[in-house]
Amino acid sequence: MATRPPTLWASVTPVLVGTAAAVARGYFLPLAFVAALLSALFIQIGANLANDLFDFRRGADAGPRLGPTRVTQAGLLRPAEVAAGMWLAFGVAALLGLYLVYVRGWAILAIGLASIAAGLMYTGGPWPFGYHGLGDLFSFVFFGLVAVMGTYYVHTGTVDELAVLASIPVSLLVTAILVVNNLRDVETDRAAGKRTLAVLIGARATRLQYGLFVAGSLLMPLVLRWAGLASGLFWLPWLTLPLAVRLVRTVTTETGPALNRALKGTAELEFLFGLLFAVSLIW
C-alpha cells in the first residue's frame, strides 16, 4: 500500500522509451536495460515511502484524507519501519546503479545520486521541494527528462536530439500524474501549509495545466515526425486519445475522491502512451 503500485508505471515508461530510442539508433544492452528498469522502479518506491514518512512528520496528512491510505498516518506501519523500507529501496537502486556505472562511467553515478536525492528532498530535508511549489518541476526533470535521457545514455554513451525530444512527452505525462494528485489534495494541502503548485495557482489553473500537459504529450509524436526522427508509425501513441479525452473531462469536472480514478488512469495513460511510443520509435 505504501509503495502505491498503481503509480509505479511512472518509473517503467521512461526506461522503455529511452531504450526504444537507443534501439532506433542501433544500440541495445540487455543487462543494462534490466538494471536501469529495476533501479528506476526502486527509486520511485523509495520516493513514495519517503513521501509517506515525511508528510506524516510534517503533519501534512493530519485530518481526513481524500487520497489512498497513508500507512504511517493510519498506524499500519511505524515511522521507523517506513524509513527502513525507504532506505532499503534506495539501497537496492544504488546497488543496481553500480552496474550501470561500470557500463557507462561516473556520469551515471551523478544521475543516480541526484535522482535519489530528489526523491528524498521532495518532502524531506530542511526545504522540501514539494512544499514550495517545485514538485512539478522536479517530477518533469527527474522522472521524465533525466530518466529517458539517462537510459538512452546507458545504451549509447551519448545524448542527442532524439533522446531529448523523446523525453518530453514522458515528462509531461509523468508530471500530469502529480498534477492530479495535487489537484485532489489542494484544499487539505493548503490547510496543512503544503504549498504545492496547485495551491499556489489554484484549482482552475491546475485543471488547465493538466489539459495542456496531456495535449502536449500527444503533439510530440508529430514533432518528432516533422524532425525526421520518427517512422511512419509515429501516430501509434494517438491510439490513447480516447483515454486521454476521458481523463481530461474527469479532471476538469470532478473534485475530491473522484480524482483518485483519474490519478490511476493517468498512470495507465502514461504507460500505454509510452509503450506505443516506444514501438513507433523502433519500427
Task: Judge contact between 211 and 247, C-beta under 8 A.
Answer: no
pLDDT at 33 over 70: yes
- Average per-residue pLDDT for the chain: 93
Task: Judge contact between 50 and 182, C-beta under 8 A.
Answer: no
pLDDT at 166 over 90: yes
Of 217, 201, 248, residue with least CA distance to 140: 217
Of 266, 263, 269, residue with least CA distance to 239: 269
If one counts every other C-beta atom within 10 angstroms of the C-beta of residue 82, the result is 21
Q: How far is CA 117 from the centre of its chain?
A: 15
pLDDT at 177 over 70: yes
Predicted confidence at residue 188, as pLDDT, reads 87
pLDDT at 162 over 90: yes
Q: How far is CA 52 from the centre of its chain?
A: 16
Predicted confidence at residue 61, as pLDDT, reads 66
R_g of the chain, CA atoms, integer Å: 18
Grid cell of 208 as nine digits: 488547465
Q: At 242, which CATH number?
A: 1.10.600
pLDDT > 90 in the chain, percent: 81
228 falls in which pLDDT band (50, 70, 90)? Answer: very high
pLDDT at 254 over 70: yes
Number of domains in the chain: 1
Burial tier of 127 (Cβ tally within 10 Å: 0-12, 13-18, 19+): exposed
pLDDT at 62 over 80: no
- Find the mean pLDDT for residues 121-147: 92
6 falls in which pLDDT band (50, 70, 90)? Answer: confident
Q: Which residue has the higher pLDDT, 231 or 21?
A: 21
258 falls in which pLDDT band (50, 70, 90)? Answer: confident
Predicted confidence at residue 253, as pLDDT, reads 94
Task: Judge contact between 48 and 184, C-beta under 8 A.
Answer: no
Predicted confidence at residue 257, as pLDDT, reads 82
Predicted confidence at residue 69, as pLDDT, reads 81
Least reliable range by pLDDT among 24-38, 53-67, 229-243: 53-67
Predicted confidence at residue 65, as pLDDT, reads 63
Region for residue 59 given its phi and psi (left: phi exceeds 0; alpha: psi -120 to 50; beta: otherwise): left
Predicted confidence at residue 68, as pLDDT, reads 75
Q: How far is CA 137 from the centre of its chain?
A: 11
pLDDT > 70 in the chain, percent: 98
Predicted confidence at residue 104, as pLDDT, reads 94
Q: Structural domain of residue 142, as residue ranges?
A: 5-282
pLDDT at 191 over 70: yes
192 falls in which pLDDT band (50, 70, 90)? Answer: confident
Grid cell of 245 as nine digits: 479525452
